[in-house]
Amino acid sequence: MKNMEDARKAYDTITAPEELEKKLDAAFLQGRVKRRRRQIQKKIAQSCMCCFMLVCMSFVVLVNTNAVFADTVSSVPILGSLAKVCTFVEYKEEDESAYIQVRIPEVKDTGNTELEKKINEQIREGMEKVLNEAKEEARSNWDAYLKTGGDPAEYVPMEVALDYEVKSNEEGRLSFVIWISRVRANYYREYTYYNYDLETGKEITLKDLLGSSWREQAYDSIISQMKEREKEEGESLYFRLDSGEYALTELPEHPDFYINDAGKPVIVFEKYEIGYGYIGEQEFEIPLSNA
């Protein structure tokens, strides 16, 4: 006897493999993460509730710092513009606490493999450190959330992105910035700069570029540029003391900087560091002295 009821019985004997449980677990996790991400995107679109937390790490790599040597070398196509910054690894990972996107660069074709290796190792170490910090923070946020009785379903994972940008690659000098951003409902920001001399493997300071009076020289240049910008805008942009002087009375001992296409150092101040939030990051190109 064949009828629909019997066919249904045949149908009902089909049972799901045990693996389906695991596949569903994965689907629920992934579904929640994707849903959170959509909600985050919506929120960002709707308002500025989320702050971007930036930990900026900048590597300014100088193939050489000796001006005379640079002149000589720039005509020899071994060093200099041949040096490349390539993406070494690119990956995404996610769990319930964080969604992470990473692009780590590596320096290639500098003509000096030993130093290349050293610099790339340093880049990777630095990246690993900030990434692990971000992951730990994401994890501890998640743990704390659970411990305080938070509903896992409502948790918004931290979004972490690590990327880089080449600032300049001229005349044997290679300058690029690596940054990590974290999106959470609180605010945190930190810059770390590394400067290397590819010839000696030593760290480089602004002094190497601007001479012994770099601090005064750069400060004067920055102050005059600040005045110019305020004049252009027709309003006060930077923090001032009661006396009317700028709150920036001297440069920090190790200012953040990169080197631009013109081979000049560009000193960077993060948001809120010297002026009102709406002006954002402030960059000042410092003219080179003849020193």
Partner 1 sequence: MVINEKRTSCAERELEAFIREHQDDFYRLAFSYVKNADEAMDVIQEAAIKAFVHLSSLRDTQNMKAWFYRILVNECLTWLRKSKRLYVVPGEFFEGIQNGEHTEKFDENLDLYKAILRLDAKLKTVVLLRFFEGMKLEEIASVTNTRLSTVKTRLYRALRELKSVLEEEISA
Minimum CB–partner distance for residue 158 and partner 1 (Å): 17
Shortest Cβ 203–partner 1 spacing (Å)? 48
Which residues contribute to the site for partner 1 (CB under 8 A)?
Answer: 1-4, 6-17, 19-21, 23-24, 26-28, 30-32, 34-35, 38, 151, 153-154
- Closer to partner 1 by CB, 8 or 227: give it: 8
Residue 259: what are its φ and ψ, rounded to 5°?
-115, 130
When the beta carbons of 34 and 202 are compared against partner 1, the nearer one is 34
Cα dihedral 231/233/234/237 (nearest 10): -90
CA atoms lying within 13 Å on the CB side of residue 258: 25
Q: How far is the CB of 102 from partner 1 (least distance, A)?
A: 23
What is the longest distance spanned by two Cα atoms in the chain?
A: 103
Tell me the C-alpha distance between 79 and 65, whole Å.
Answer: 13
Q: Nearer to partner 1 by C-beta: 35 or 254?
A: 35
Q: How far is Cα 106 from Cα 170, in angstroms, rounded to an integer?
A: 17
- Distance of closest approach, residue 19 Cβ to partner 1, in angstroms: 6
Rounded Cα distance between 185 and 61, Å, is 34
Comparison of 11 and 278: residue with beta carbon closer to partner 1: 11
Torsion angle of C-alpha atoms 166, 167, 169, 173, degrees rounded to 10: -120
Q: What is the smallest separation between the CB atom of 24 and partner 1, expressed in angstroms?
A: 6
Least gap, CB of 137 to partner 1 (angstroms):
23
Task: Closer to partner 1 by CB, 40 or 288: give it.
Answer: 40
Please state, in angstroms and rounded to a whole number, the distance separating the CA atoms of residues 92 and 43.
22
- How far apart (Å, rounded) are the C-alpha atoms in residues 53 and 42? 19
Nearer to partner 1, 32 or 264 (CB): 32
Shortest Cβ 287–partner 1 spacing (Å):
51
Cα separation, 204 vs 195, whole angstroms: 5
Residue whose CB is less far from partner 1, 9 or 92: 9
Write down the least CB distance from residue 2 to partner 1, Å.
5
- Please tell me the total number of residues recorded for the chain in this structure: 291
Indicate left, alpha or beta for 244 from its phi (over 0: left) and psi (-120 to 50: alpha): left
Nearer of residues 30 and 72 to partner 1, judged by Cβ: 30
Q: Do residues 83 and 174 lie in contact, with contact meaning Cβ atoms separated by under 8 Å?
A: yes
Short-list 88, 199, 183, CA closest to 134: 183
